[in-house]
Structure 1
Amino acid sequence: MTSKRKLHIKSYGCQMNVYDAQRMVDSLAGEGFVESASAEDADLVILNTCHIREKASEKVYSELGRLRAAKTEAAQNGREMQIAVAGCVAQAEGDEIIRRAPVVDIVVGPQSYHHLPQLIARAKTQGRAIETEFPVQDKFGVLPQPAASAIRARGISAFVTVQEGCDKFCTFCVVPYTRGAEVSRPVEKIVEDVKRLTDNGVREITLIGQNVNAYHGEGKDGASWPLGKLLHRLAEIPGVARMRYSTSHPRDVEDSLIAAHRELPQLMPFVHLPVQSGSDRILAAMNRKHTARDYCEIIERFRASRQDIAFSSDFIVGFPGETEEDFSATLALVTQIGYAAAYSFKYSPRPGTPAADMQETVSTAGMDERLARLQDLINSQQSAFNKAAIGTTMDVLFEAEGRVPGQMVGRSAYLQPVHVMASPDIVGRVLPVTIEKLERYSLFGALASPVSTVQPTPFQMTIGA
């Protein structure tokens, strides 16, 4: 019997990294690794990195500095600790990590997680191991499957990767260089994954990909299926109560996806559709290949399909060359759309991207001031959206017990936390809740019994276009 070894994974960044961390746990389970919440007592520590956010590399090296002391202490106590750097920073800067950080034993890119057991063994015999090349074959077909106990431990919601990589080459983004070209999984492999998850208690599936709505996987009929058709197939699986997808690109919104929102009650009416800027000039400089008007027309197509649909988005403030007029166009777009939530960031250059060489930089003070104005507007819209829920009844998927004894917590269709006083046996069920009050970003209410319909209309009336 393989002796148990402790594994600690620290993930940064996007939902893909959360999913990738689960893949790494699954790939190492057969090697006798069990997860640990502490890096200090782990036999293997993996930093699962993200290259999207500001100062990504610096954060990795800072964390490696702290781990150096833990590795030294382990060696003094006669215990070997291995340290691995995984993810997009590993893909982009693998050789540099090896050069700058002698404490690192393994560097592995996001395309090669299924080779972790071999890399661990290679590092033991050769001192260090690095694998950051893009594979030629479809890596999706060789991933280990999680045990039933692992699925149940992760709860009633699960991520399922359906697509990876990006062909858009936005000038600010490193994803095409670190994750590679767009690859989509075959439909039946996704169906198998979802059936396995629902058989073990998962009720909500979130399909993820760098450009998830660019999905073009092969169906049983041999044809290329778009995301909308895939969603229809997954909705047929017993036990799938809710479906979501993230992250989308405006250029890949097609008619079958719009139709899926109209036709599938399991598909939640909440779409994350990043726009990045409201200025056509800046959008062109970003190589987004859509205009603000294009984006607004897409939003209207979604809204025509479901009156209760809501949106979140991403915004970059201070992109090279952004003027006050450009920024005002972003504020105007946000005002026109009306978001339930949004993420906004100051621009920071990523080495190797075209935008990193652009000279018309915006001052730090200018970016700070613009970001504060944008976030004030977004926060006011989110607050209005949440307040509009008071007095309505909405369906909630309950996930766990709350911090207060006797309290249960779930999420609305719009991912709002919802708290009620109820029995723990409601976990995994979708139940109507009448919302009574709002505290910060959380809703509080009472189970409604019986309630025939959800009442979403006030949301659209409050912040709609």
Structure 2
Amino acid sequence: MATGKTFYIETFGCQMNAHDSEKVIGTLEQQGYAQVQVEEDADLLLYNTCSIRDKAEQKVFNRLNDYKKLHKLGKRFAVIGCVAQQEGEKIFERAPYVSLVAGSASYRKLPEMLARLEAGETRITGLDDRQTDLTFETEFTSRQNPYRGYITIIEGCDKFCAYCVVPYTRGKERSRGSDSVLEEARRIVDLGYTEIQLLGQNVNSFRDPQGKRSFAELLAALGEIPGIRRVRFTTSHPRDFTRDIVEVIDAVPTLCDHVHLPVQSGSSRILRMMAREYTREWYLERISWIKAAKRNIALTTDIIVGFPGETPNDFEQTVDLLNEVQYDAVFGFKYSPRPNTPALVMIDSISDVEKSTRLQVLLDRQREIQRVNYDKHLGEIMEVMVEGTNPGRGQITGRSSQNKPVNFTWGGPIAPAPGSYHRVRVTKTFPNSLVGEAV
């Protein structure tokens, strides 16, 4: 390597990618590399990529192009993650200065690949074990989040939704043994973390290979570990969302009162075309379980507008679903074709202008729903976990158990540390956040 063993890593995409980067960073550091925060200071530049959204590949290649001049200075480039798995060796053709291409299932081989890179190899791939049942070892995880510890409990997806590239980049569903999950949770507590978030493309599709615990039983066991104050999980799939998940949230106070349950469309016809394997009625039954809980469980979702064949009536059914469910937040997206997915053969006849219009209608309606939902917290005293500060406004930033952003004033001379918990009285509300003062 040019000047030593330093690396820079940039992460695109979801929380699973962010946690994958923690594993990669830990492995690199164990191999003697030091992390730097500026591309120019690094000997090895890694881009951990996501392929879920439109133009994801182009975003990565644009970034590579921005810094290709550094290759002349002896820098090496690596593309890892979902775009790496999706594009494979084509990355070498489009960006010949890239030396390493590896999918997420290959990270356990990273030490070997780094040794080959240091020996002078210029085209190294880790793309051949996407279906492996071996999970990436976590003993070298370098946790970057100062207040939340992530644990991946299931990798991949068997659902094959018509629009989604995940089964082709992350492979089949592989669950981790529940004993291993609990052991890592205890290690995280020993590091000082009090909030844990379980991760998986379909986290509630977890099937314990040891046969010891269901997903709900795993949640209960995690919530009872001494030192843990909050347990979150994302993302759930409606097909595998069972009533006992709601029951365990009711029974174990350390489980956060928030469920993210992506619906994608309010039209059963479109859900069938999306291959979501449930109907509007099936989904609403699960929502009824959540709303019947003793605790007030916040509900959030994902929605795609403009899927091929979506009529104005189909879209109206989606808006009507918002009115019926009254979500606390909606993540809305315009449909975009992804490589290798079944929807590619469908006629995408809805113009981008129409997709944008529908998305805006959806978000405007949701904003009004959230305004009402958030107003209900006015005057409430809630526990908030600190995430940081907003010096410009003189506020502390944090989140409630329901995963709602809370910004509050602090009377003391020293700001509270990230990860600490404080009681906050809500004095003002907005459609996307709450404002208050420490009690």
Asked if 2 retains the 8 angstrom alpha-carbon contact of 1:120 and 1:129, the reply is no
Aligned residues with identical type, % of pairs? 38
From 124, 128, 147, give the equivalent of 2:123: 128
The aligned residue for residue 179 of structure 2 is: 188
Relative to 1, partners in 2 of residues 1:370 and 1:179: Cα closer, same or farther, differing over 3 Å? same
The equivalent of 2:371 in structure 1 is: 383
- What is the CA RMSD across the aligned residues, in angstroms? 1.9
Measured in 2, the distance between the counterparts of 1:389 and 1:168 equals: 37
Query: 1:428: Cα distance to partner?
Result: 3.4
- Range that drifts further, 30-39 or 307-316: 30-39
Q: Which residue of 1 aligns with 2:409?
A: 420
Q: Matched residues in 2 for 1:56 and 1:436: separation?
A: 40
Cα deviations by residue, 1:52-92 (Å, 9 ceiling, x for unpaired): 101111111111111202323xx1xxxx3111101111101
CA apart distance, 1:248: 0.6
Task: Encode CA deviations 1:356-387: one digit per residue, 9 max, x unaligned.
Answer: 11025211121111111011112222232222
Residue 383 of structure 2 aligns to a residue whose secondary structure is strand
CA distance in 1, matches of 2:314, 2:132: 43
Partner of 1:202: 193
- Kindly state the Cα deviation for residue 406 of structure 1 after the two structures are TM-superposed: 6.9
> Where does structure 1 lack aligned partners over 5 or more consecutive residues?
449-465
* Structure 2 residue aligned with 1:283: 271
Amino acid at match of 1:275: V
Q: 1:444 aligns with which of 412, 435, 438?
A: 435
Counterpart mapping for 1:383-422 below 5 A: 383-403=371-391, 407-418=395-406, 419-422=408-411
Alignment of 1:47-446 (within 5 A): 47-72=47-72, 75=73, 80-123=74-117, 124-134=119-129, 137-140=132-135, 142-146=137-141, 150-151=142-143, 154-218=145-209, 222-403=210-391, 407-418=395-406, 419-423=408-412, 424-425=415-416, 427-438=418-429, 441-446=432-437
Secondary structure at 1:217's aligned position in 2?
A: coil
User: Could you report, residue by residue, the CA deviation over 1:372-426 in whole angstroms, capped at 9, with x for unpaired residues?
Assistant: 1011112222232222222111121223344259743321112223223144456
**Contact 1:407–1:422 at 8 Å: present in 2 too?**
no
SS of the counterpart of 1:144?
A: coil
- Deviation, 1:135, is 5.5
> What is aligned with 1:459?
none
Structure 1 distance, partners of 2:356, 2:150, is: 34
Question: Secondary structure, in 3 states, of the residue corresponding to 2:429?
Answer: strand
TM-score by length of 2: 0.94
Relative distance call for 1:101 and 1:129 in structure 2 (3 A) is same
- More off after superposition, 269-278 vs 303-312: 303-312
Q: Secondary structure at the match of 2:428?
A: strand
2:371 maps to a residue whose letter is: S
Shift of the 43–391 alpha-carbon distance from structure 1 to 2, 3 Å rule, reads same
Q: Deviations over 1:114-156 (max 9, x none)?
A: 222221222343221011122565332634333xxx54x6312
Aligned pairs, number: 433
